[in-house]
């Protein structure tokens, strides 16, 4: 199994540009999540999904959209990039959200200038 994969690994955007961060998992996990990690802070939940067709907002959802058309894929869209969205983004999956281990992808480092 490849586990959780994320692309791209690095990205530089200009303010106002849009892009999609890709996340895929091959473990048939129902739960998938997107987090951002900023220096000196814990990971913060952006959006999550408990299954195909079901998504919900996390702690910091503004400026981001998600969709879950398949169990495997959970893309994160930045609608109009802002410097405040400069961060490292992690995708995670788990069989269930609470009691089971979360598996994280390698991350995408995004810089918005």
Partner 1 sequence: KNQVEQSPQSLIILEGKNCTLQCNYTVSPFSNLRWYKQDTGRGPVSLTIMTFSENTKSNGRYTATLDADTKQSSLHITASQLSDSASYICVVSADYGQNFVFGPGTRLSVLP
* Residue among 28, 106, 111, 113 that touches partner 1 (CB under 8 A): 106
**Per-position DSSP letters for 5-59, written without gaps between them:** EEE-SEEEE-TT--EEEEEEESS--SEEEEEEE-TTS--EEEEEEEETTEEEE-S
Place of tokens 């009691």: 99
Residue of the chain from 19, 27, 43, 82 that contacts partner 1 (CB under 8 A): 43
From the CB of residue 101, how many other CB atoms can be counted at a distance below 10 Å? Answer: 8
> Of 24, 31, 81, 110, which one interacts with partner 1 (CB under 8 A)?
31
- Asked if residue 101 binds partner 1 (CB under 8 A), the reply is yes
Of 13, 68, 85, 90, the residue at the interface with partner 1 (CB under 8 A) is: 90
How long is the chain?
A: 113
Q: Which residues of the chain form contacts with partner 1 (CB under 8 A)? A: 4, 31, 33, 35, 40-45, 48, 50, 56, 58, 90, 92, 97-99, 101-107
């Amino acid at each position: 199994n490849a586990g959780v994969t994320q692309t791209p690994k690095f990205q530089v955007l200009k303010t106002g540009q849009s892009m999609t961060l890709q996340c895929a998992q091959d473990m048939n996990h129902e739960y998938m999540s997107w987090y951002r990690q900023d220096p000196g802070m814990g990971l913060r939940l952006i959006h999550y999904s408990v299954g195909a067709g079901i998504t919900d907002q996390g702690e910091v959802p503004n400026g981001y959209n998600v969709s879950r058309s398949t169990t495997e894929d959970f893309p994160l869209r930045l609608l109009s990039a802002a410097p405040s969205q400069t961060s490292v983004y992690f995708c995670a999956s788990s069989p269930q959200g609470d009691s089971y281990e979360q598996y994280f992808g390698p991350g995408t480092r995004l810089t918005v200038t």
